[in-house]
Structure 1
């Protein structure tokens, strides 16, 4: 797990989420998975570390990892469960987009006759508290 940082971005080698420096403020940052919150650089880094820990299925049951997750979530002012839900929704949206036929702007299961039923269900990752 490595977070690559520059003056303007933070990216991960295991997750597609990222942090970006806000061009409108001197030291404001935003996380791709928490876009409506302006953060400090330290908070953005905590958000990236949180995402990496939650993205590693081998760490789900590790107590020390869960304690670190709680510390990073607290630094962002959210609960671990909120972070899991937000990241799971982002993952589900990416998967749904990948499953959409090329050139079809309508998400699967949202056509005029199909209503809201999907052809399959995308399950978010499960994390024990």
Structure 2
């Protein structure tokens, strides 16, 4: 698991989710693609990215140490692991739904209707989730 961190974005090598840095009232804040309503610190955004990677790995489902790590990461974000699982599953369902629309030759719902940001804003493939899509097919 690797998270690529720059001054403006965080991306994962196994998940299409990402974090972006923005400025709100002159303050730098981070926002996670899967937790867009929360204004986070750099450390919280990184914890959110790590949590996404842990929860995206089917091999750790029964790994007690990984589950404890996930719980710690979720606590840093102020949410429960169960809530994180639900939010990430919803994002996966949205991506699959968009792919289905695309395969039918339709544009489908607009990005504005589906939520904040999306991977295109990062500009280097974070929205594609090639490795993540492979894991879930």
Task: Classify the TM-score, shorter chain.
Answer: 0.7 to 0.9
CA distance in 1, matches of 2:21, 2:12: 15
Instruction: State the Cα deviation string for residues 51-79 of structure 1 (Å, max 9, x = none).
Output: 00000000111000000000000000000
Which one has a larger percent helix, Structure 1 or Structure 2? 2
DSSP 3-state at the match of 1:28: strand
If you compute each CA radius of gyration, which structure gives the higher value, 1 or 2?
A: 1
Q: How big is the shift at 1:104?
A: 4.8
Instruction: State the Cα deviation string for residues 77-124 of structure 1 (Å, max 9, x = none).
Output: 000000000000000010011011122536xxxxxxxxxxxxxxxxxx
After TM superposition, list the pairs within 5 Å mapping 1:59-98 onto structure 2: 59-98=60-99
List 4+ stretches of structure 1 deviating above 6 A.
none
CA distance in 2, matches of 1:104, 1:45: 32
DSSP 3-state at the match of 1:15: coil
DSSP 3-state at the match of 1:23: strand
- Which residue, out of 99, 105, 108, partners 2:108? 105
CA distance in 1, matches of 2:106, 2:96: 16
TM-score (norm 2): 0.74
After TM superposition, list the pairs within 5 Å mapping 1:1-129 onto structure 2: 1-24=1-24, 25-100=26-101, 101-105=104-108
Aligned length: 107
Summarize the Cα distance change of 1:102–1:54 in structure 2 as closer, same or farther, 3 Å threshold: same
TM-score (norm 1): 0.79
Which protein has greater RCO, CA pairs closer than 8 Å, 6+ apart? Answer: 2
Q: How big is the shift at 1:28?
A: 0.6
Q: Could you list the runs of 5+ residues in structure 1 that have no partner in the other structure?
A: 107-124
CA distance in 1, matches of 2:20, 2:108: 27
